[in-house]
């Protein structure tokens, strides 16, 4: 009998093990173990929209890098943009975080305590050749927490077909936009769009207006939120006026429909600062895309961001060293130039010759890079968006006045700053 | 004199047998119990403990005492989530129960094709809420069938998902669609127990359909209805999938529920301590409702 | 007299027509989302319009080509199947064993253990979510099959139902086998399990359904695309800039297995859901 019960016990253990074995490859990131080669993992996101092209790009870079660094094996994993902070946070919690990860400035502060400074891995000439605002936006307390590999900008993009149809001039300021709205509405167009869903980032939607009105999200010292200001009220009032007038697509204010279902994709809008030309080209046709300077209220300012590679391994670790060499290679002027052209973004380096000399629209966008802002990095940046976005919706749906909405958001955010 | 050895040996044998049985019993329970301790019981206790800390990823937790709960009471987002959750429940449960009763009565008697109807009405129950949500998002969009139907009825032709006052009713529609078949089935089983003779007698006494339902059928359904009310209330308190896919809690937090806040605090911002405190609040709420329902049922008896 | 009353309880002709009409309307409303899902998934990618797009012509399979080629749908289906099937086997085996012991064996702590199980039925799943995640994360279970499956094996309701069922089986059956000298484990596999077939089938169907449709836990534990289940994958398609017809094509693919299973084993679905309470 004893034997039987032991067998029963063994069965339980075995089934447990079987279950565990199903686990397969529990990401063997990090220390790479006993072998001679140091394995490192990098998380990327679909910067190049076509999955196959994107994988091919990295395969090529990994092959080139490994040829020069036979002691390092690099694995690039491409993840979706959606919910990437959740995925990264979960991985950190589970100890399966990557060694290198693609981050943008407003993500960096919340991961700062897990990031190794990258300055020491980059050579000085490369550091000096970066555009200053690229370096600045990924630095904290004088340390560079990511190596910039690309820059983006969201200028004002207008739809030539719509403007020809209405017979209007392109807008330069908020007032121009509001003045155009009724005639666009009469002709069956929305003058612009506003993506108000709480799942959409405010970086490309509300914050540019806030900055154009001279406001900011956080106070300079980062000790409180600053959006509840005359500038904030002006920005939100503009949106409320557009929403109340029926000048923007209603569904977009609160939900995210499939893009091809929207008036934006159907070409039934005038201008947008929330899509870039690459998004719109397949729908509008290249000939209808007009790139313009960002709208002006007090100043003309656009959202632009920096994509940087950050190192998550512990500094001094062998993995961190390998990661550093990889990051240094990938962030070089040559590799980034190839990458940004393939993805339709811009180089973080102050290049002598534009990469887009023969494309007027991209050349136009490139001239605005220095004027772009990625906002104030802050460890609560994403949480503040989570608090502010629903209040903006409240104002857009007529539940609250702009003043009350911003005050309520400020009030809710106070909890974060205890 | 000393008793003979026989009984005591038998008793020893019995004891050996009992001990063996106990060992086997324990071994058989063990796998389930270990998993249970590790993933249900343990976490339930841990949840209470975490709620008193500022636990987050990659940092040592600090004991905060009641700080999380104090923050919760101060947090307008929590109160609004609580209100939304209660409102959603208060709307969903009665509508769902009424639909279940109505449909159960319609498919109660055997007739040709009744099996097909029952299958159709049960189909949404086996369908994932995520899949339902993808279709219903389109149905409720401003170019979709629902808005168009509302337009025909003379109501504003807008997307219900974009209107803070209508977003919950829209979610209620989806929730009821996905659940009424379940209640229908439960009630159908009960309806078979209604004594036919009673109904016939009532009929001969001249009772109309409503009277027969009110005085003969309904009393039979009562216990099942209470059971359903408990189940539906618990399910409504925990609504998440629909909110996550269809609205993200919007517009203006009009569909931002407690479980959604728990998810957001826990797995978007990784404030695990605060999220645990929200979990504890959810537990207390469920407990209170269960106790009230038990009390009501007890009083009823 | 009795005969007449019997007939009278059946609806009159007009009543039957009314009932038929009501049922027809209710069926159309109930089935409409399924119809829309299938038809719209078969439309070309251009903007979908109401009501034009609901007409069942001009069908195209491009959405299926796209969703089946690019989006890891097959991997998600595989993950969902692993998650569902392994969980079914695990839950059934463990709950049958525990149910058998609780019903037929005496051992110290039996009542206490059983009541621990029962008490936890009261605690909502979401309350234990955070600590369960922390435990799995600390154990390195994030993004693994075992991390996904193991916590969901703790199913108090299944243990309770198995105990009820086995408790209803006559003791004599087991005593006879014991006299034959059958070992406990053999007795369990050759007698208890076969006797439990009906409840195992219904309970199994229910557990399968629950896991196939589960969303929150896989969403939390599966961080990478390769570890997503169908529900998580479809939700993610829905949130990205993926055309509606492609999202719906994915939904159809995710729905077909459950629908097929439902057609075959309707009885078990109904019994399982009736018995075990509502879906997650």
C86 has a chain A CB within 8 A of its CB = yes
- B264 lies in the same domain as B207: yes
Do both B182 and B107 map to the same domain? yes
Q: Are A304 and A153 in contact (CB under 8 A)?
A: yes
Residues B3 and B114 in one domain: no
Q: Give CA–CA dist C50/C56, Å, rounded.
A: 13
What is the pLDDT confidence band of residue C137, given thresholds at 50, 70 and 90?
Answer: confident
Please name the residue of chain B whose CA is at the shortest distance from the CA of residue C219: B267
Same domain, B104 and B15: no
What's residue A218's pLDDT?
Answer: 93
What average pLDDT does the structure give for chain C? 85
Q: What pLDDT is attached to residue B67? A: 85
Contact B105, B216 (CB under 8 A): no
pLDDT for res C215: 94
Residues B13 and B134 occupy one common structural domain:
no
The predicted complex's ipTM stands at 0.89
The pLDDT tens digits of the residues spanning A325-358 come to 999 999 999 999 999 988 889 999 988 777 887 7
Q: Does C177 contact chain B (CB < 8 Å)?
A: no
What DSSP assignment string belongs to A271-319? Answer: EESSS-HHHHHHHH-GGGEEEEPPPBSSSB--EEEEEEEEE-SPTTSHH
CA A323 – CA A75 distance, rounded (Å): 11
Residue B51 covered by a domain: no
In the prediction, which pLDDT does C9 show?
A: 67
Q: What is the pLDDT, as a whole number, of residue B4?
A: 53
User: For residue B173, which residues of chain C lie inside 8 Å, CB to CB?
Assistant: none
Residue pair B212/B225 in contact (Cβ under 8 Å)? The answer is no
A5 touches chain B (CB under 8 A): yes
With CB atoms and an 8 Å threshold, state whether A390 touches B23.
no
In chain B, which stretches have pLDDT less than 70? 1-7, 58, 297-301
Q: Give the whole-angstrom CA distance, residue B146 versus residue B149.
A: 5
Domain end among C64, C81, C116: C64
CB B75 within 8 A of CB A415: yes
For chain A, the structural domain boundaries read 38-153+304-371, 156-301+380-417
Please list every residue in chain A whose beta carbon sits closer than 8 Å to the beta carbon of residue C184. 1, 4-5, 8
Selected from 3.90.226.10, 3.40.190.10, 1.10.3720.10, 1.20.120.450, the CATH number assigned to the domain covering A38-153+304-371 reads 3.40.190.10
User: Would you state the pLDDT for residue C171?
Assistant: 82
What value does the mean pLDDT take over residues C91-111?
A: 91
Supply the pLDDT for residue A213.
94
Residue of B249, B244, B227, B248 lying closest to B294 (CA atoms) = B227
pLDDT of residue A81: 79
Domain that holds residue C201: 67-276
Distance CA C155, CA A161 (A): 61
Let me know if the fold of A38-153+304-371 is the same as that of A156-301+380-417. yes
Instruction: Output the domain CATH number for residue B208.
Output: 1.10.3720.10
Residues of chain A under the 70 pLDDT cut: 1-35
Could you tell me if residue B46 is inside a domain? Answer: no
More confident residue, C49 or A209: A209
* Confidence (pLDDT) at C268: 84
- The per-residue pLDDT for A71 is 92
Q: Which residues sit opposite A303 in a β-bridge?
A: A154, A373
**Cα(A28)–Cα(A184) distance, rounded to whole angstroms?**
57
Residue window 16-75, chain A: list those with CB within 8 Å of chain B.
Answer: none
CB neighbours (10 Å) of residue C145?
22
Of C46, C220, C225, the CB nearest to A80: C225
Instruction: Say what the pLDDT of residue B140 is.
Output: 92
CATH number of the CATH domain containing C242: 1.10.3720.10
Question: Virtual CA dihedral for A354, A356, A360, A361, nearest 10 degrees?
Answer: -110
Nearest to B43 among C132, C238, C266 (CB): C132
Query: Do residues C188 and C35 touch, judged by C-beta distance below 8 A?
Result: no
Residue B233 covered by a domain: yes
Say yes or no: C107 and C232 in one domain. yes
CATH architecture of residue range(s) A156-301+380-417: 3-Layer(aba) Sandwich (3.40)
Query: Does residue B79 sit in the same domain as residue B24?
Result: no
B264–A197 CB contact, under 8 Å: no
Task: Mention every residue, 6+ apart, whose C-beta is less than 8 A from residue A326.
Answer: A40, A42, A65, A69, A72, A74, A100
Q: Report the pLDDT value the prediction gives residue A6, as an integer from 0 to 100.
A: 41
Interface test with C, best of B131, B148, B212, B243 (most C CBs within 10 A): B131
| Strand arrangement, sheet containing A38-44 | A72-78, A38-44, A100-103, A303-311, A147-154
pLDDT at residue C191 in the model = 84
Nearest CB to C144: which of A1, A26, A77? A26
Q: What is the pLDDT of residues C153-210, one digit of tens each?
A: 988 888 988 998 998 888 887 777 666 666 788 888 888 899 899 889 988 988 998 9
Taking contacts as CB-CB distances below 8 angstroms, the residues of chain B near C126 are 238, 240, 259, 262, 279, 282
Cβ contacts from A onto C, under 8 A: 103
Which of chain C's residues have a Cβ under 8 Å away from the Cβ of B283? Answer: 123-124, 127
Query: For an interface test with C, which of A7, A15, A54, A80 has the most C Cβ atoms less than 10 Å from its Cβ?
Result: A80
User: Is B58 inside any structural domain?
Assistant: no
C window 119-158, beta carbon within 8 A of B: 120, 122-135, 150-151, 153-154, 156
Q: Is the peptide bond before A221 cis (omega within 30 degrees of 0)?
A: no
**C59 and C147: one domain?**
no
Can you name the residues that pair with A44 across neighbouring β-strands? Answer: A78
Q: Report how many domains make up chain B.
A: 2
Three-state DSSP state, A225: strand
Q: What is the pLDDT of residue C181?
A: 66
CA atoms within 13 A on the CB side of C84: 25
Give the residue numbers spanning the domain of B14: 1-36
- Which chain B residues are closer than 8 Å to C116 by Cβ? 36, 41
List the beta bridge partners of residue A73.
Answer: A39
Q: Strand, helix or coil at A140?
A: strand
Q: Which residues on chain B are in Cβ contact (under 8 Å) with A411? A: 76
pLDDT reported for residue A7: 43
C81 in reach of chain A (CB within 8 A): no
pLDDT digits 0-9 by tens, C33-46: 999 999 999 988 77
Report the number of distinct structural domains present in chain C. 2
Cα–Cα distance measured from residue B43 to residue C94, given in angstroms and rounded to the nearest whole number: 20
* Whether residue C72 is found in the same domain as residue C147: yes
CB C162 within 8 A of CB C95: yes
How many Cα atoms within 13 Å fall on the side-chain side of residue B192? 6
Q: Do C185 and C47 share a structural domain?
A: no
C14 and C86 share a domain? no
Q: Are residues B194 and B135 in the same domain?
A: yes
pLDDT score of C8: 58
- Angle at C82 (CA atoms; ends B128, A17), nearest 5 degrees: 140
B 28-67 near A (Cβ less than 8 A): 28, 30-31, 57-59
Domain boundary among C48, C64, C80: C64
Pairing of strands A38-44, A100-103: parallel
Q: What is the pLDDT of residue A106?
A: 85
pLDDT band of C236, cuts 50, 70, 90: confident
């Amino acid at each position: 009998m004893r034997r039987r019960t032991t067998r029963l016990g063994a069965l339980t253990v075995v089934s447990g093990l079987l279950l565990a074995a199903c686990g397969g490859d529990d990401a063997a990131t990090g220390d790479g173990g006993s072998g001679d080669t140091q394995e490192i993992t990098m998380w990327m996101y679909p910067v190049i929209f076509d999955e196959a092209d994107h994988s091919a790009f990295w395969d090529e870079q990994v092959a080139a890098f490994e040829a020069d660094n036979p002691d390092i094996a690099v694995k690039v994993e491409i993840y979706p943009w959606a919910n990437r902070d959740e995925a990264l946070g979960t991985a950190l919690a589970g100890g399966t975080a990557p060694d290198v990860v693609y981050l943008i400035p407003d993500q960096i502060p919340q991961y700062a305590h897990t990031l190794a400074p990258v300055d020491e891995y980059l050579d000085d000439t490369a550091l000096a050749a970066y555009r200053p605002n690229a370096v600045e936006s990924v630095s904290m307390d004088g340390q560079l927490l990511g190596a910039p590999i690309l820059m983006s900008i969201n200028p004002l993009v207008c739809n030539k077909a719509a403007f020809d149809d209405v017979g209007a001039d392109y807008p330069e300021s908020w007032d121009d936009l509001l003045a155009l709205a009724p005639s666009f509405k009469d002709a069956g167009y929305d003058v612009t769009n506003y993506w108000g869903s709480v799942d959409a980032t405010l970086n490309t939607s509300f914050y540019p207006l806030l900055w154009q009105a001279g406001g900011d999200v956080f106070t300079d010292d980062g000790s409180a939120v600053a959006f509840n200001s005359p500038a904030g009220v002006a920005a939100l009032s503009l949106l409320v006026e557009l929403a109340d007038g029926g000048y923007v697509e209603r569904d977009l204010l609160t939900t995210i429909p499939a893009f091809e279902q929207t008036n934006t994709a159907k070409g039934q809008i005038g201008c947008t600062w929330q899509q870039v030309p690459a998004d719109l080209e397949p729908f509008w046709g290249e000939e209808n895309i007009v790139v313009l300077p960002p709208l002006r209220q007090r100043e003309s300012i656009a959202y632009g961001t920096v994509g940087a590679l950050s190192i998550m391994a512990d500094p001094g670790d062998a993995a961190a060293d390998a990661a550093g060499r990889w990051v240094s290679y990938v962030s070089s002027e040559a590799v980034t130039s190839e990458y940004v052209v393939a993805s339709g973004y811009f180089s973080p380096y102050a290049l002598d010759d534009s990469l887009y000399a023969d494309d007027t629209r991209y050349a136009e966008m490139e001239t605005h890079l220095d004027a772009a802002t990625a906002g104030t990095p802050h460890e609560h940046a994403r949480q503040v968006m989570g608090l502010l976005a629903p209040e903006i919706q409240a104002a857009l749906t007529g539940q609250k006045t702009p003043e009350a909405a911003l005050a309520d958001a400020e009030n809710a955010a106070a909890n974060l700053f205890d | 004199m000393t008793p003979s050895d026989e009984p005591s040996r038998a008793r020893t044998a019995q004891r050996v047998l009992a001990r063996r049985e106990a060992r086997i019993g324990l071994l058989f329970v063990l796998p389930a119990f270990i998993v249970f301790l590790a993933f249900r019981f343990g976490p339930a206790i841990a949840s209470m403990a975490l709620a008193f800390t500022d636990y987050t990823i990659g940092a040592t937790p600090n004991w905060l005492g009641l700080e999380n709960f104090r923050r919760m009471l101060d947090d307008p987002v929590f109160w609004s989530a609580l209100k939304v959750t209660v409102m959603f429940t208060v709307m969903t449960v009665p509508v769902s129960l009424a639909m279940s009763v109505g449909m159960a009565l319609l498919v109660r008697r055997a007739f040709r094709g009744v099996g097909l109807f029952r299958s159709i009405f049960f189909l949404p129950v086996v369908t994932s809420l995520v899949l339902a949500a993808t279709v219903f998002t389109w149905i409720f969009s401003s170019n979709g069938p629902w808005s168009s139907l509302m337009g025909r009825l003379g109501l504003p032709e807008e997307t219900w998902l974009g209107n803070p006052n209508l977003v919950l009713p829209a979610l209620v529609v989806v929730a009821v669609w996905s659940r009424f078949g379940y209640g229908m089935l439960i009630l159908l089983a009960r309806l078979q127990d209604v004594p036919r003779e009673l109904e016939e007698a009532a009929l001969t006494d001249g009772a109309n359909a409503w009277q027969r339902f009110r005085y003969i059928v309904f009393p039979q359904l009562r216990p099942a209805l209470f059971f359903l009310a408990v189940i539906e209330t618990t399910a409504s308190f925990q609504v998440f999938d629909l909110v996550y896919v269809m609205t993200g809690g919007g517009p203006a937090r009009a569909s931002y529920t407690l479980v959604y806040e728990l998810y957001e605090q826990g797995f978007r911002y990784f404030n695990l301590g605060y999220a645990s405190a929200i979990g504890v609040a959810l537990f207390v709420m469920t407990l209170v409702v269960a106790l009230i329902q038990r009390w009501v049922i007890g009083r009823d008896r | 007299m009795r005969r007449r009353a019997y007939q009278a309880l059946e609806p009159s002709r007009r009543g039957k027509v009314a009932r038929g009409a009501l049922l027809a309307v209710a069926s159309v409303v109930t089935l409409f989302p399924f119809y829309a899902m299938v038809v719209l998934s078969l439309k070309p990618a251009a903007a979908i319009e109401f009501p034009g797009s609901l007409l069942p012509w001009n069908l195209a399979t491009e959405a299926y080509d796209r969703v089946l080629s690019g989006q890891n749908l097959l991997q998600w289906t595989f993950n969902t199947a692993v998650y569902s099937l392994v969980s079914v086997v695990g839950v059934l085996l463990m709950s049958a064993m525990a149910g058998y012991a609780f019903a037929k064996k005496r051992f110290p702590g039996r009542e206490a253990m059983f009541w621990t199980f029962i008490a936890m039925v009261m605690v909502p799943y979401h309350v234990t979510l955070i600590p369960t995640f922390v435990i799995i994360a600390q154990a390195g279970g994030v993004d693994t099959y075992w991390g996904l499956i193991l916590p969901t094996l703790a199913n108090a309701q299944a243990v309770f139902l198995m105990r009820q069922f086995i408790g209803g089986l006559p003791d004599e059956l087991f005593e006879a086998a014991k006299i034959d000298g059958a070992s406990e484990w053999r007795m369990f596999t050759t007698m208890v399990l076969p006797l439990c077939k009906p409840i195992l089938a219904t309970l199994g169907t229910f557990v399968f359904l629950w896991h196939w449709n589960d969303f929150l836990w896989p969403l939390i534990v599966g961080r990478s695309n390769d570890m997503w289940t169908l529900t998580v994958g479809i939700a993610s398609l829905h949130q990205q800039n993926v055309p509606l017809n492609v999202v719906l094509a994915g939904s159809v693919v995710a729905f077909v297995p459950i629908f097929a299973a439902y057609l075959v084993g309707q009885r078990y679905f109904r019994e399982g859901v009736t018995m075990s309470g509502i879906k997650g």
